[in-house]
Amino acid sequence: MVGADELTTEDRKPGLRLMAVHAHPDDESSKGAATMARYVAEGHDVMVVTCTGGEAGSILNPAMDRPEVLANITEIRREEMARAAKILGVQHRWLGFVDSGLPEGDPLPPLPAGCFALTPLEESTEALVRVIREFRPHVITTYDENGGYPHPDHIRTHEVSVAAFDAVGDPDRFPDAGEPWQPLKLYYGHGFSKRRMELFHQAMLDAGMESPFTEWLARWDAGRPDVMERVTTQVECGEYFEVRDEALKAHATQIDPDSRWFALPLEVQRKVWPTEEYELNRSLVDSTLPEDDLFAGIKEKVSP
């Protein structure tokens, strides 16, 4: 296992490495994109790993809901992902598994054979371990045990990410998947905060605007805890919200540019809530909570 005290000269270069593991193309742009854009701007290397091709995704932008788009959805989503990665300035890897889809009905139908959520955990873990050992990130971000929301691919992404974090530094695990490398921190990204929604909602009402959050807040389960109770780390990244939005719009099959995603002006977002939120799950370095930097405790440890 390679630890922080055993890093080579190359590993101690000023720019550190961050890996974000996501389930589908577009997840990287809706979850933590401004954080990634900030770290790229600061000279760090960032890689997005997408576990599936998003083949089962619906067309959510009415302007793209055309037969020729649906017939070529896999290729189109790959092209969208490439554009989003370029906008964010990140490297990108496909893990190569098949989108499980989001089962609906009562009772729920079975997941399709061969999909990501049904792939044996050892197989998908080895695939991610191989990419981690190649890129050698200091920090990995992924979803919590609920997947952010209970899509089977998001939950599986959590399981694979945690398993890979625990295995990747062990030379006895997946010995044919590259030289061992131990990331130093693992975070869960959190986005759907009730408190954040409430503040955005009130800001829009105060500005005399119609709030897109009225319905969401009305449907919020009173017994559902706010994810802010779990957050340990808030990364200031308001300066990069415009980059985030452009990356989102690159996923034209999934994102309607006239949707409520973009209803709240960026200047209001920056004033009311200029951060993205994370939960530190594992750390092999000392850092003081709460944090404002995913590399907290690492910069001091590995910088020359």
Residues that constitute the known binding site for Zn(2+): 24, 27, 154
Q: What angle do CA 191, 18, 234 make, to 5 degrees?
A: 35
- State the binding site: 24, 27, 154
Distance, CA of 141 to CA of 185 (rounded, Å): 8
- Give the span between the Cα atoms of 177 and 114, in whole angstroms: 22
* Cβ count near 180 (within 10 Å): 19
> Distance (Å, rounded) from C-alpha 60 to C-alpha 155?
22
Q: Which CA distances in Å does 34 have to 1, 37, 58, 60, 102?
A: 32, 5, 25, 22, 27
Alpha-carbon span 170 to 226, nearest angstrom: 36
**For residues 188 and 147, what is the distance between their CA atoms, to the nearest angstrom?**
9
Biggest distance spanned by C-alpha atoms of the chain: 61
